[in-house]
Structure 1
Amino acid sequence: MIDHSIFKGDHRHADVPSEPLQTFNLNDPKFDVEVSGDYVMVIANCNDDGLSIVTLGSMEWKSVGGFLPGDIFGLMFFYAGLAAIYFVVTLWYHCGMKMYQEAAIPIQKYILATMVVGFLEVAFLGIDLFIWNINGLRYPAVAYTALGLGVLKRGSSRCLGVMVAMGWGVVRESLGATLAKIIFLGLLYSGLTLARDFLAIAAESVQHLSQIQEEEELLDLALVLTPIIIVINIIFYCWIISSLSSTTEYLRNMNQTSKLRRHMQLRCLIITSLVIVGLLLALNIVQVFTNYLNQDQMWIMQAVTHVNYLFVLFGVGILWRPNSHAKDYAMQMELPGLGEDENELELSCVVPSAEDMDDENGFKIDDAVAT
């Protein structure tokens, strides 16, 4: 005879009551949970002579809301709402580009593509959790698609950050050969990150002891890729900060008031995003040592990361939104005036690149700033 008893308690403090909350036999193995919390199942085999083997068979755990673990249950509804917001923002930007297609600039296509990738990622993440919650199983095709789209989104966002920081669409009509370098670095980052993530997943899927050596090899290869990805991240961040500083200084020296205002707004946007990232990192470190958040609240940290990304993307979309003068904006230079309101006059001419503009002494502005 096998007696199955389920006790309620907190596994972290081993606070298990002395009496079982409910007993059941093999004919009626269902246990209805009436109070939320952590549960411990104890199985006792009566008349055990030490030679018997107990076979448990299969067990299925399902809450009232579905099969999703409680610590990520809220993410399912969050992804659904975020996908709806992404859809509205992407549709607004696409309609604007269609309405002002004659005045469209190339960087708007990259912004729209990044919005589409972001929408697809959260949509597949939501679908993955919804299927898991209904069936109790995850579809690998959906989960891996969401993973790939997430990596592609992070790579494209880094490329877009460099593009806007260099003033594409504000002081540059095109980026020339630099655009190919930006895209190459973004693809390299995405490829290495995707390979690392898939190696980690393959290592976690090892189920037999004979494959332990293979698991260790996969983890070692993933660890080798990690520092390379970190270096590429550092290159991207330094490139964005350096380009943003150079473009801002150039616009200030040239008295380009309205363009400078836009780039100052972009700088505030990036600084705010970095502050949020820093706070999340600090909270994660505190969580490791204090456990101030319950397990069912941990999804909030992941949700804030997605909201922060949408905040930056939407802000860039607003600053570079489609309008009837967008195409001429990068080819107009403001005429410096003596009064505060006299800088609104603009001359139709090609604005030189911030890296190619020379000062009166023949030195490049970037070199002068560096010295």
Structure 2
Amino acid sequence: MSAIRKQQQIPTTTPNLPLPAMDLSATAIFFFFFFFFFFLLNVERIDGSIHTYNMEGFKEVGNAYLLSGGSEGIVAPQPPLAAAGDGRSYIRFENITFWRTKEAAERHSIMEHSTGLVQAILFEAADRDNIGGSAYGGQRSICCTPDLAKLEGCKQGEVIRRPSSMGQNWPVVISTHFSANFIDINMEKYEVPITKTGMYNLFFISCDPQLRGLKMSGKTLWKNPGGYLPGRMAPLMTFYTFMSIAYLLLSVLWFAQYMRFWKDILPIQNCITLVIALGLFEMTLWYFEYLNFNNTGMRPIGITTWVVTIGAIRKTVSRLLILSVAMGYGVVRPTLGGLTTKVLLLGITYFLATELLDIAENVGTINDISGKARLFLVLPDAFLDAFLILWIFTSLSGTLDKLQARRSLVKLDIYRKFTNALAVSVIASVSWIGYEVFFKATDPFSERWQSAWIITAFWDILALGLLCVMCYLWAPSQSSQRYAYSSEVGEDGDIEEAQPLTKGLSDGGDLGLVKLDKKERNAEHSDVFGIEDEAAEEDKRE
């Protein structure tokens, strides 16, 4: 079920890349304060529900008609001083109305009392086997049948329920009866206090075959001690607080160096500045989005879409930055030349794939999206990531060959460290994907929901770690220009690099330069993506 949604019109602004050194910093500061005040204005502090139902239809499952009301992790009550909210945990039913078909209602007269039964059943995931039963080892039934009535002692026409270890009242069953020949019936307002931490599931069930086509509207409030934020999402609000602080510290350190050596800033350093700014915006916006969700129980579509879009832009720009660095942009070539179109096309495609996946997972949603739907959206994103990794390492190989051929030892050392960091991040990513698959495969009922937030948090931590490595390797300094592109061999300003070049000239004179040029041309033709022609043509123009 989806949360209550409040439509908001939010202006969309896309940052331009690249920007001049001073303009980029000023723009980053402007956007940070703009988003900060924007969220303060849009965070609403009103009571709201978490799950809403708008004429939702029941589906036939076995011998029952069933509608899922939600599934969430809820923490046991805490003292008010220890929680951000009032410390209470509960699930409240409000304005629940059931609607049967006109044909079903006309089968009864106005004098009849009970003419149809709908039951709401709430249980903790560990008690799932306490619902339903099977006669003589046959197919499991949710509703009590004549045979099961003899074996289980259940009441025919109602949901089979066995008491839980939590107490005789669990699983909780709330019955609502249609009366006379009325089409609709209102469920009484009801609140179920939660006293034990667990993953709770709610289903609305009817065992009456005459209630085919049953629909329901209304809402349920699922509250944790600290607010309406679902239990598995609550740790992420704290996580985004620390991530915002981490990005803020990184931005302060980077901006201090940026302003100190702004006359020597390289294009790569401008791009890194943009990624840091986007990361800071994204983490801050996620915190405020979760704060609003926790206070109101709602995820406004406009706000969440805006946050997701900023995140998709940050992910796209980060990957294009890594790809551009791997190609030697600003180091062995002044521009990407003929590759610019392909890089931009890949960036647009990746942005769209990431945006669709993140919107499906976050915008207006409370429960996880279904496995098939998620797989459909994850596959394009995963394919593009794999393609990017292959392209990045292929480009890195060519760039390393060029630097080695030119004997640019300082640049070569930086690129080797960068390659090692990328290799570690790829290995960590593949390992984590394997762990994520194992985690979800071995926890089909989300009973380990309290640690599920780590799955999401890892990717943000990995991205920040790789960004810190790039900030360290390409930190602004008075010698930044020695890492920049130079059209002449040996102009890196490094004495250690000049010695081998001098030695090469003394040994072979012009012949040494001819051999060196031949090595560079061979390195240029090692690209396996069919882009070597553009790269070679660009080198000629350089």
TM range (shorter): 0.7 to 0.9
Q: Secondary structure at the match of 1:97?
A: helix
Look up the match of 1:300.
454
Residue of 269, 282, 286 corresponding to 2:421: 269
Cα distance in 2 for residues equivalent to 1:80 and 1:110: 25
Cα distance in 2 for residues equivalent to 1:67 and 1:178: 49
The answer to whether residue 393 in structure 2 is matched with residue 245 in structure 1 is no
Cα distance in 1 for residues equivalent to 2:380 and 2:390: 15
User: What is the one-letter code of the residue matched to 1:119?
Assistant: L
Cα distance in 1 for residues equivalent to 2:458 and 2:204: 41
The answer to whether residue 464 in structure 2 is matched with residue 310 in structure 1 is yes
Look up the match of 1:329.
483
How far did residue 125 of structure 1 move?
1.5
Instruction: Report which stretch shifted further, 172-181 or 97-106.
Output: 172-181
Cα distance in 2 for residues equivalent to 1:302 and 1:327: 38
Cα distance in 2 for residues equivalent to 1:228 and 1:359: 44
Alpha carbons 2:395, 2:527 under 8 Å: kept: no
User: What is the one-letter code of the residue matched to 1:309?
Assistant: A
Alpha carbons 1:7, 1:20 under 8 Å: kept: no
How far did residue 283 of structure 1 move?
0.6
Cα distance in 2 for residues equivalent to 1:231 and 1:28: 49
Cα distance in 1 for residues equivalent to 2:301 and 2:514: 56
Equivalences for 1:72-221 in 2 at 5 Å?
72-195=233-356, 198=359
Alpha carbons 2:235, 2:453 under 8 Å: kept: yes
Structure 1 gap ranges (5+): 206-218, 348-356
Residue of 137, 144, 169 corresponding to 1:20: 169
The answer to whether residue 428 in structure 2 is matched with residue 286 in structure 1 is no
Deviations 1:258-298 (A, max 9, x none): 22111111011101111111111111121233229711111
How far did residue 144 of structure 1 move?
0.4
Q: Structure 1 vs Structure 2: percent identity of aligned residues?
A: 21
Q: 1:181 to 1:41 in 2, by over 3 A?
A: closer
User: What is the one-letter code of the residue matched to 1:343?
Assistant: E
Q: 1:233 to 1:33 in 2, by over 3 A?
A: closer
Q: Which has the higher helix share?
A: 1
Cα distance in 1 for residues equivalent to 2:329 and 2:170: 66
How far did residue 369 of structure 1 move?
5.9
How far did residue 299 of structure 1 move?
0.6
Q: 1:24 to 1:181 in 2, by over 3 A?
A: closer
Alpha carbons 1:273, 1:312 under 8 Å: kept: yes
User: What is the one-letter code of the residue matched to 2:325?
Assistant: V
Look up the match of 2:496.
343
Deviations 1:199-255 (A, max 9, x none): 7889989xxxxxxxxxxxxx79x95x8766555444422221111111112222333
Deviations 1:76-103 (A, max 9, x none): 1101110111122123222322211110
Cα distance in 2 for residues equivalent to 1:40 and 1:369: 57
Look up the match of 2:408.
256
Alpha carbons 1:8, 1:16 under 8 Å: kept: no
Alpha carbons 1:6, 1:23 under 8 Å: kept: yes
TM-score normalised to structure 1 length? 0.75
Cα distance in 2 for residues equivalent to 1:368 and 1:6: 65
Look up the match of 2:126.
10
Alpha carbons 1:7, 1:19 under 8 Å: kept: no
- The root-mean-square deviation of aligned C-alpha atoms, in Å, is 4.3
Structure 2 gap ranges (5+): 1-113, 131-162, 175-186, 367-372, 501-512, 529-542
User: What is the one-letter code of the residue matched to 2:496?
Assistant: N
Q: Secondary structure at the match of 1:60?
A: strand
Look up the match of 1:214.
none
How far did residue 156 of structure 1 move?
0.8
Cα distance in 2 for residues equivalent to 1:188 and 1:6: 43
Q: 1:345 to 1:131 in 2, by over 3 A?
A: same
Cα distance in 2 for residues equivalent to 1:21 and 1:160: 55
User: What is the one-letter code of the residue matched to 2:126?
Assistant: D
Q: 1:112 to 1:43 in 2, by over 3 A?
A: closer
Q: Which has the higher strand share?
A: 2
Cα distance in 1 for residues equivalent to 2:527 and 2:120: 74
Paired residues, number: 340
Q: 1:63 to 1:272 in 2, by over 3 A?
A: same
Instruction: Report which stretch shifted further, 87-96 or 271-280.
Output: 87-96
Cα distance in 1 for residues equivalent to 2:309 and 2:479: 36
User: What is the one-letter code of the residue matched to 2:522?
Assistant: I
Alpha carbons 1:83, 1:123 under 8 Å: kept: yes
User: What is the one-letter code of the residue matched to 1:320?
Assistant: W
Alpha carbons 2:164, 2:171 under 8 Å: kept: no
Instruction: Report which stretch shifted further, 325-334 or 273-282.
Output: 325-334
Alpha carbons 1:167, 1:247 under 8 Å: kept: yes
Look up the match of 1:365.
522
Cα distance in 2 for residues equivalent to 1:202 and 1:40: 22
User: What is the one-letter code of the residue matched to 2:408?
Assistant: Q
How far did residue 346 of structure 1 move?
8.1
How far did residue 330 of structure 1 move?
2.2
Alpha carbons 2:125, 2:447 under 8 Å: kept: no
